[in-house]
Every structure is written in C-alpha cells, then in structure tokens.
Amino acid sequence: MPLPFCLDKVNHISLFLRMVYQTMSKLTRRGLMATAGAGVGAAIFPSKQGVADAKSLRDEILELPNLSGHEHWGSINAIGWRESGFIADLKMGVEPEDASLLDILFDPYSGMATHSKGIDRHAEARREGFKALKDWFRKDPYAAWDSVRRILDGLESTGWFSCLNAGFHSLYGVTLQKLFAADSKDSVVELDRKVQDRYSRLMSWYKEACGIMKIQKILRPVQLEFGFERDNPNEREIMAPLLRIDQFCTFYQKPTEAMRFCVEKTGIDPTNADAFREFLAKCFDLADRAGFAGTKQMQAYSRHLDFARPKDSDVLFEPTDDHAKQLIFGNFVMNECAELAAKRGWPHQIHVGTHNLPDSNPMPLQTLFRAFPQVNFVMLHCWPFMKEAAYLAKSFSNAYIDPCWTPVLNLEFFQQSMETYIGYLPDSKVMIGHDSTSVEMAAGSLRHCRTILADVLQKRVDQGRFDHAAALSLARRYFAENARKIYREI
C-alpha cells in the first residue's frame, strides 16, 4: 500500500520530531542515549507500546536476550585437541587447570590473522629458548607481553580483535588496548590470573558470563561421544549439542577415534549401503537419547555443495583415491543423514562461504532443500554469498540464515548481512549466533551485533520504513525467538 506522503515529507517530519524529542530527552534520565535512538518513526506510526517508546531502541536492543545456535566454546589449546577434533567436542564439561590469557587471545581464529600478516607467533619465544609463547609468558610475563604487542600490532582493526576486545571489556572490565600501554604489565598479570581462575571452574564461569551477557543458551556441534563421556554435566545447563556429521562423510578415507567410538557403540562396522544406513540410524538414535538437537556439517570447506542423491550401486564402501567416488560417498551420507534428521524434526546447519570460495556458494544447496522439505536448513556465515543465501532463504520455506562469525571476520560484514536481509526476508528467517571459540569472544561478538543491528534498525525507523515496535520485534526474533523455534524450544 502506498504511503500517504512522499519520502521528503517523512524526512521533514522526522527532523521536526527529532528536535522535539531531543528537547524532551534532556529532561529524561536517559539523556544522550535516548537522543541517539529518537524513535522518530514510532511517532509517525502509532505506537503499540505507548510510553515504552521513550526508551531508545539501542538501549532496548542492548538488553535483549540471545540464544546462539552456533558456538565452539572450549576450542582452545588449554583444553586441547586430538585426532578427532577439539577435546571439548569429545567430552562434556572439560575444565583446564592452566588456561591463560594467551589461550583466549591466540585461539584457533588468531592463526588466520597472524598467517595473513606472515608471522609465526612463537618465533620470538623460540629465540628466547622456549618451546611456545605461552611457556615464555608463564616464566617471564613482562617480556613475553612485549612480544604479544608486536604480534598484534596492525591487527587491532580486524573484526577478530574487535570482538575479543569488546568481550574482555564486557566480562573483565578491561580493554586489550589498555593492556598495550607501557605501564600496564601488572594489569596483564592480573587479567591472566583471572582467566586461569575462571577457566579452572569453567562451567560456573560460563553460567556467570551468560548471565552478564544475557545469553540464554548456546548450541555446539560435537561428536557422538560427547553425549556419553563427561567431566562436568553442568555444561548441559547452558548448551545443547548438535551432531557433527563430517566424519561420517569421510568414514573410509579418514578413520578417526570418533568414528571408532560410533562403531563400538553401535556394534556395526558397515561395509555396504544397508549396513551403513543401519549404522547411521543407530548413531542418530543414540544422539537423540543423549539429547542432541540437530546436525551440522562443514563440507563447504572441502567440496562443492551439490548433494545429489546417488544410487546405492554407484557408492563405494571402502577407501579410494578417486575424488569423484569420495564425493559420491559424501552425497550418500548427507542424504541419509537428512533422512534421519527429517524423521526427528531436527534442523541441519551447513557452512556457506568464508573458505574454499570457488566451491562454497550455496546455490547448489537447492537440491537438498527441495529433497527434504521437512528439514530446516540453517546456512552459517554466508559471507560473501549474502545475496545468494538471502535468495535461498526467500525461495525455500525450510532455509534459514545465521550470520555467525561475520563480525569476527569484519564487523562491516555483519552490517552488510543485516542490510541485505532486513527488508528482503521475513523476520523469521535470521538468527544471530557467534561461532566463537570462547565465551569471551562470543560476548564481544554479541555486544557488536547488538549495537550494529540497533543502528541498522534505527536508520530505518528514522526513514519511516517501519516503527519502533516492529524494529524491536525483529531484533527479538533475530537474537533468540527464531533460534528457539528452529532448534525446538531448547
């Protein structure tokens, strides 16, 4: 329906109302914050919330709860890694004795930053006679911190650093930048002690941090054995597991401990199509009983995303060097897993973009979306294929988007994602997770997502495209309600 006034007029009204509001806001305790989110559109459109509009949109969005559908908390060196993946994905509630500030700072994602800068972060430590930077830091934190400053020089502008910086600020009250000041070394040692203490009681720290950040729950992709091996079951109070299916796709190519666990637990070592189906069905059954909430794969990092269903007779159930045959086996597994997910109403997460760019365009996923209308597919990240992902989410009622990790790549990529999806997609199609290796990084990503989304929405409210209440409703859905629905009320 056409608006009863032209855009220029809207802008004039907006300007007038902004002036009125600014005058009024000086009288309120919210002062400048309220001015930033003047709720102009809300005055143009009759408000559903009445006095609630006096609160700025940004203030309200900063307080919204978050349910993150995609995290990797615990994927740090202090907890460790085995052949099958990070130990945090193999065992519930692992708490490290000797976590350090450096474990959080130099998480797996930091390797991308230092690699593109062309440096080895351990090089100086080795020259000083230590095996790794953390060993040096434990022995001589002051000297090692100087090395950290040199490593991070020139990386402060990246999304990765911005998220960590905001995370430390939100959870420890200190910025990394402050720690770079020449007289800050005692603060570095103090922060390191805090990290060590909080990580030695990690599950209670997670709960505390979630309370501070208003994170209601997270989902983490893990191996099946996570459902059976546990150090501290309290992790389940804040997280629900998703079953990683990647290692099923390379079952014969790369035998792993995680797959050996599945073989032992099911009592099936499959060598043909029917046995493999039975093997997968039993794994899914076990996962279901252990409280898993869906499935996840990262095949986009190693292959294209066309998962056409093969005939059983075309699939090879043994190791092969034939790449085409490896792909066909992956297609078989993917389709069987989707079948099993469909039976349970489980959603399936799939990586899109960020790596392997020639092959990680999501358009071929149409085959899968069409074949399994009962499965809700969540496309993760999506940069730089935001438009393609948006097209798919618009075209298929079972396709959704989680722009997780885009802030860690570049805060601007998250903003571009929001600008692309809002206005094109129904509000039910997007959910905001963080894909973070630590609660600290998730806290920073969430902080940035809240402010960026608030600014993107406020701009539209100011332009008169929709009102304050509609903007807030969208933000509520993006931050928690959509994920709660897709991941079945976890």
Residues near Zn ion (CB under 5 A): 435
421 closest CA partner among 409, 432, 429: 429
* Complex with Zn ion: residue 235 or 467, whichever CB lies closer: 235
* Complex with Zn ion: residue 296 or 468, whichever CB lies closer: 296
* Complex with Zn ion: residue 225 or 435, whichever CB lies closer: 435
Q: C-alpha distances in angstroms, 322 versus 319, 418, 437, 482? A: 9, 41, 34, 41
* Complex with Zn ion: residue 141 or 433, whichever CB lies closer: 433
| Cα–Cα distance measured from residue 134 to residue 114, given in angstroms and rounded to the nearest whole number | 16
Shortest distance, CB of residue 416 to Zn ion, whole angstroms? 20
Shortest distance, CB of residue 194 to Zn ion, whole angstroms? 27
* Complex with Zn ion: residue 192 or 435, whichever CB lies closer: 435
> Which are the contacts of 50, defined by CB distance < 8 A and separation ≥ 6?
none
* Complex with Zn ion: residue 402 or 467, whichever CB lies closer: 402
Shortest distance, CB of residue 246 to Zn ion, whole angstroms? 11
Shortest distance, CB of residue 347 to Zn ion, whole angstroms? 15
Shortest distance, CB of residue 70 to Zn ion, whole angstroms? 6
* Complex with Zn ion: residue 316 or 490, whichever CB lies closer: 490
Shortest distance, CB of residue 436 to Zn ion, whole angstroms? 9
414 closest CA partner among 449, 362, 446: 449
Strands of the sheet with 377-381, listed across from one edge: 66-68, 215-222, 239-244, 295-297, 348-352, 377-381, 399-402
Shortest distance, CB of residue 52 to Zn ion, whole angstroms? 36
Shortest distance, CB of residue 435 to Zn ion, whole angstroms? 4
Cis status, amide bond into 2, omega within 30 of 0: no
Shortest distance, CB of residue 433 to Zn ion, whole angstroms? 9
Which residue has the closest beta carbon to Zn ion? 435
| Cα–Cα distance measured from residue 61 to residue 476, given in angstroms and rounded to the nearest whole number | 8
213 closest CA partner among 71, 396, 45: 71
* Complex with Zn ion: residue 434 or 448, whichever CB lies closer: 434
* Complex with Zn ion: residue 40 or 164, whichever CB lies closer: 164
